[in-house]
Amino acid sequence: MDNKKQEMSRLRLAILPVADEELGKFLPMCGMIFLTIFAYSLLRAYKDTIVVQAPGAGPLLLPFLKTYTVLPSSLLAAFGYMKLRKNVDASKAYYICVSLFIAFFALFALVLNPYREYLHLGVDWLMGMQEAYPPFSFFFAIVAYWSYALFYVASELWGTYMLSVLFWQFANETTTPEQSKRYYPLYVLAGNLALIALFPVLTHISNNTHSDVLEVCGLVSVCGFLLMYYYTKADTAQRKEAREEKIVKKKKKKLTMLESFGVLFRSEYVGYIAVLVLAYGSIITLVELIWKSQAVQLYPTKQSWLQFQGYYTLLTGLATILMNYLSKGVIRQFGWLTGAIITPIAAGLLSCLFFIFILGQSAFASIGMFLDIAPLTMAVWVGTYAVLLTKGSKYSFFDPTKEMAFIPLEPDLKINGKAAVDGVGGRLGKSMGSLISSTLIMVYSTAGTRATAMDIAPVLFVVVLGFTLAWFFSVVRLSVLYNRETRLAEEAQAAATA
């Protein structure tokens, strides 16, 4: 009987490597990341839907929103959050942030959206201004659909603060290094399961477009209330654990933007890591713009677009789970360089394949005829798989190897370097692609003519090639430096123990 219990215990630990006394903290944390990513993925799908389906807007409005509304709003939110943390502790800050999100989405569902015809400037005004001033067409669209722009910004801030800041900050502060090795892969799995769980929800909402806003905002609000409940449970369990084990956490150093740039310029090693982050963010932004511009032609209604987003989210979740499983063996068996170079191969080759297909659709028409698939359908699904496989490889290979690259550095550079890369590389990576594409749209718009996605696609193809080459060079060069730093760290450790 005891042997059977031991076998069951070993089996349980192999599947769920969490001790019984740790479940009080671990399970609420899994619930938190599941709900956070579920709500963010729902908002991400819906924010794109209301923008791309709005008359006079479309997918080309997205880079303008990201550059001229999301970026400044993120900086203001960062300033506000720092002020908030100076006055209240982490738990109160969490409750306040979640409550603000719930309040906004309730306001949007109950006031801004139902009365949008009275609050927006109207399609006639927008069309007139766009016809008169084509280069500034999408600035007028932001003004005309200002409540949609606010919804877009709030949805992006949910991803930035609820996931990247509030959840992972709480996880990092309440998890020991030993626990993180066991917990974090399961947190990632819980997040990917949220993507799969979202598929039937998006399918349901796409079939009920008369009540879609209420359902989306209602679900996000429910997630918000549940998040506060799970946070309370996890925080209580953590306080109990800290009292019992007398855990003392070191505060992570936060750098200003100028200090971050200084670290990047002084350290070649950290600079190359920043290039990796910058290249990924720029490439995925540029490819998604052209892909969504093609997809909206294939799925022109709100119902069909939401259904398409549901399938895309489902495939992304499945691909990421599969790649997460494969990544552990690849990095362990073949080393850092092999793991690190998979993402630029996936991003670069798949993105280039997509652009070649888009720019040469007529040349591939015979293949479509043979397969009985329309060229536009082929283009959209080539782009879909390019984007989801790039994102899957990013979560599975890019993120782990990026974090591994900091390990051999000396403590101060490790702390400051990570803060610099997360601060500068992350922000620039998300905004540079949008800035490039929005600038090209304005440049290519002439008197009486507004630029299209296909007008700027050839230039974006060249830009993507440039980022891909920079990414490959940085990975190879960083591999040399990583191996050298790892060897020096091992020699120093051996000398210290001798």
Contact (CB, 8 A) for 288 and 351: no
Angle, helices 302-334 vs 336-359, to 10°: value is: 150
Q: Is the pLDDT of residue 10 over 80?
A: no
Indicate the SS3 state at residue 56. coil
Burial of 112-123, coded b for 16+ CB within 10 Å and e otherwise, reads bbeebeeebeee
| Closest listed residue to residue 351, CA positions, set 458, 469, 471, 461 | 461
Residue type, 472: F
Neighbours of 32 (CB within 10 A): 28
> What is the reported pLDDT for 457?
92
For the stretch 231-254, pLDDT in tens is 999 988 888 776 655 544 545 555
The two tokens of residue 140 are 């007028």
> What is the reported pLDDT for 85?
82
For the stretch 272-297, pLDDT in tens is 888 898 899 899 999 999 999 999 98
Average pLDDT (155-181) is 79
Distance in angstroms (rounded) separating the CA atoms of residues 456 and 439: 10
* Architecture of the CATH domain 252-486: Up-down Bundle (1.20)
Q: pTM for the whole thing?
A: 0.85
User: Considering only 103-117, 255-269, 308-322, 421-435, which range has the smallest mean pLDDT?
Assistant: 255-269
Q: Is the pLDDT of residue 4 over 50?
A: no
Residue type, 128: G
Number of continuous H segments (helices) and E segments (strands) in the chain: 22, 0
CA distance to 162, 246, 320, 354, per residue, from 24 (Å): 21, 18, 27, 46
Distance in angstroms (rounded) separating the CA atoms of residues 178 and 21: 15
| Closest listed residue to residue 318, CA positions, set 184, 199, 185, 401 | 199
Q: Is the pLDDT of residue 475 over 90?
A: yes
> What is the reported pLDDT for 166?
83
In percent, the amount of the chain with pLDDT more than 70 equals: 85
What rounded mean pLDDT belongs to the chain? 83
Average pLDDT (410-438) is 73
C-alpha triplet 239, 241, 242: angle, nearest 5°: 65
> What is the reported pLDDT for 7?
47
Q: Is the pLDDT of residue 328 over 90?
A: no
For residue 449, the cross-strand partners are 446
For residue 446, the cross-strand partners are 449
Contact (CB, 8 A) for 40 and 158: yes
Q: Among the ranges 394-403, 459-468, 476-485, which has the highest mean pLDDT value?
A: 459-468
Q: Is the pLDDT of residue 469 over 80?
A: yes
Contact (CB, 8 A) for 315 and 446: no
Which sequence spans correspond to the domains of the chain?
22-245, 252-486
